[in-house]
Structure 1
Amino acid sequence: MRTWVRKGAAVAAAVVSAVALSACGSQEKGPEPDGKRDSAAPSAGASQGGAGGVTLADAAGAWLGTTDGKPVTLTISTGGQTVVISDAHVCQGVAKEGETLTLTLSCKDGNTDRESGTVGSAEGGRLVVTWASGLTDTLSKPAVTGLPTNMPSIPSLPSLPPQP
């Protein structure tokens, strides 16, 4: 039961992140992603990512973890839109490549715990973000297990009489 609740919370957080990312538009125009991404291995020295640095393509996706006993969800789109959900705070902003991959966020409630951060590594299914506030989040990609198997069946509808 406990595992099911944790998995349910993780799935709900990932869905909320995805919805939040799809609902917010960016005022900044940047290069369109080319869709070519090898998610199996991080790229070393890719465009603007610095020699051996983490690129946007390396960090794109949904990430889950726990920091100070509280669940943290981070979602980064390939276009750079970013959402963090932690301890009832929802923060959104952008991820930008440079010498390092930086995250610049703002929270509607004014929380500043995850306002400015740097992605230190994105290897082996783990992402480490160090925030200016002193927090460090070590997150991992959620396992995709497929659709639930215990869903109820949909009742069949009675057939309608032919129309004259």
Structure 2
Amino acid sequence: MDAHRLVRTGVVAAAGAAAALALAGCGGGPDQRRGDDTAGGRPADGPPPSPAAAPAASPSPSPSVPPATTGAADGSWVGLTGGKPVSVTVKKGHALVLAEAHVCQGTARGTGTVALTLTCDDGYTTRTEGSARTQKGALVVTWTGGIRDTLTRAGTP
């Protein structure tokens, strides 16, 4: 197996796993674990916390227009930029980028040209604002700051 195919397979697998976690939600609450709930100081099988102990849920504002992307940009895209693997996944208005050992997620909006607005948990900012457009079967992402990724649709490994 050549190095390019190995990198592509690894990026596709990582992108798929990260996309599934980011887009579907992940982790379980204390009631879904076995053992002690260290935050609440009670066994996971014990009674639920009293209403006074549970934090109140704050309503999250919903945008007046939900994010939308075109069908052409939706999917998983992989490639190499500067010899390093880059993966972009766009689905139903959500976006996930894996690049330079960073994971960034956020929104994808627009038709034709898709605006990507992402945040990275570790403070990475190189690929947080950009625009993506499909050209000749490739996804070309131009990031604020000048980096340009040209990616191909990820196939099954």
Instruction: Kindly report which structure 2 residues correspond to 1:71-82, keeping only aligned pairs within 5 A, or say none.
Output: 71-77=85-91, 79-82=92-95
Question: Could you tell me which residue of structure 1 aligns to residue 29 of structure 2?
Answer: none
Structure 2 segments unaligned to the other structure (5+ residues): 27-59
Counterpart of 1:112 (choices 118, 125, 139) is: 125
Q: State, as a whole percentage, how many aligned pairs show the same letter.
A: 42
* Cα distance change, pair 61–81 in 1 and its aligned pair in 2 (3 A): same
Q: Is the CA contact 2:78–2:154 (under 8 Å) kept in the aligned structure 1?
A: yes
TM-score by length of 1: 0.63
Q: Which amino acid aligns with 1:10?
A: V
CA RMSD, Structure 1 to Structure 2 (Å) = 2.7
Counterpart of 1:134 (choices 142, 146, 152) is: 146
Q: Is the CA contact 1:74–1:85 (under 8 Å) kept in the aligned structure 2?
A: yes
Question: Could you tell me which residue of structure 1 aligns to residue 13 of structure 2?
Answer: 12
1:98 Cα deviation from its structure 2 partner: 6.4
Structure 1 segments unaligned to the other structure (5+ residues): 34-54, 146-164
Aligned length: 121
TM-score by length of 2: 0.66
Provide the rounded CA distance (Å) in 2 between the counterparts of 1:6 and 1:98: 30
Q: Secondary structure at the match of 2:72?
A: helix
Provide the rounded CA distance (Å) in 2 between the counterparts of 1:133 and 1:28: 30
Q: Secondary structure at the match of 2:71?
A: helix
Q: Which amino acid aligns with 1:107?
A: C
1:23 Cα deviation from its structure 2 partner: 1.9
Question: Could you tell me which residue of structure 2 aligns to residue 96 of structure 1?
Answer: 109
Provide the rounded CA distance (Å) in 1 between the counterparts of 2:112 and 2:135: 18
1:86 Cα deviation from its structure 2 partner: 0.5
Q: Is the CA contact 2:11–2:86 (under 8 Å) kept in the aligned structure 1?
A: no
Q: Which amino acid aligns with 1:2?
A: D
Provide the rounded CA distance (Å) in 2 between the counterparts of 1:143 and 1:126: 13
1:7 Cα deviation from its structure 2 partner: 4.2
1:48-72: CA deviation from partner (whole Å, max 9, x where unpaired): xxxxxxx522200000011111100
Q: Secondary structure at the match of 1:59?
A: coil
